[in-house]
Amino acid sequence: MKNSCLILICVGSVFNTIAAEITTPELTSLKEKVNIAIKKVEQTERELWSYNISRYEDEEGDITSSIEQYSPQTSERWHLKQINGQVPTTRQIKNFVNKKEEQSNNTGQGNHIQLKLRELINQQSLSLVSTDEKNIVMAFNVSLKKLGEDAIGKLQGQLIYQKDNQFIEKISIWNNADFSPVFTAKITDLAITFTFLHIDGAVLTKQNEMKMKGSFAYFTEINETSLDVFSDYLYQGE
């Protein structure tokens, strides 16, 4: 199923959670920590950082990979460094640049498709799973409009809040029942993980991973894995 219903996406620790006992004021305080952590992501000017992305996709056995570079200080910000382990051809580079331009026009975010945590995490539903000296683990209900109304109530999530740097280090999402994101498509297994880096007060994407299984048009198998790894961040602002 080419270009899966969720662009971003990732696998992590997938398991059912039981909310830990906690008083209402304590829970309110934890929710505010998460809210502030989300603001850190929103306030990070990712377009001012240069970085590399290593991409890997396996769609029903059709495997592709690429290495891309984003450089905000250059006139042509996106560069295709490698595709399927080879130096890209002129045509491949042109197609890559056209795709990035199209994404920029569609999102209005300069080729940066941002993960909107406020839309992903239902903050009112946050509950404490566990806490220790380093981390706070919280469960939440997931809201993803791109997955359609049938997914409502069939997705659950968990986040890890790192106490030292006060940011969300990891988000895991999985389904607890089959759902149909679009007509004739059924997703039976979905596991997504987002991990983040904290660099000089900025919160930047470290890795996105997704595994998805199901069927399309009743007869076509969906079996997808995607992995995006971000590296070599360097701030290019003044």
Give the structural domain span for 67. 24-235
Whole-number Å distance between alpha carbons of 222 and 4: 9
For the stretch 33-58, pLDDT in tens is: 999 999 999 999 999 999 999 999 99
Q: What is the mean pLDDT of residues 171-196?
A: 93
Residue 14 in domain = no
Q: In what order do the strands lie in the sheet with 202-216?
A: 78-83, 62-70, 49-59, 220-235, 202-216, 185-199, 167-175, 155-162, 135-141, 127-131
Whole-number Å distance between alpha carbons of 15 and 117: 21
Residue 15 in domain = no
pLDDT of residue 78: 94
Tally of structural domains, the chain: 1
Residue 138 in domain = yes
pLDDT of residue 20: 64
pLDDT of residue 2: 43
Q: What is the mean pLDDT of residues 220-228?
A: 95
Mean confidence (pLDDT) of the chain: 87
Residue 10 in domain = no
**Rg from Cα positions in the chain:** 19
Cα first-last separation, the chain: 43
For the stretch 53-99, pLDDT in tens is: 999 999 999 999 999 999 998 888 999 999 999 999 999 999 999 99
The CA dihedral of 98, 116, 172, 179, to the nearest 10 degrees, is -80
Residue 119 in domain = yes
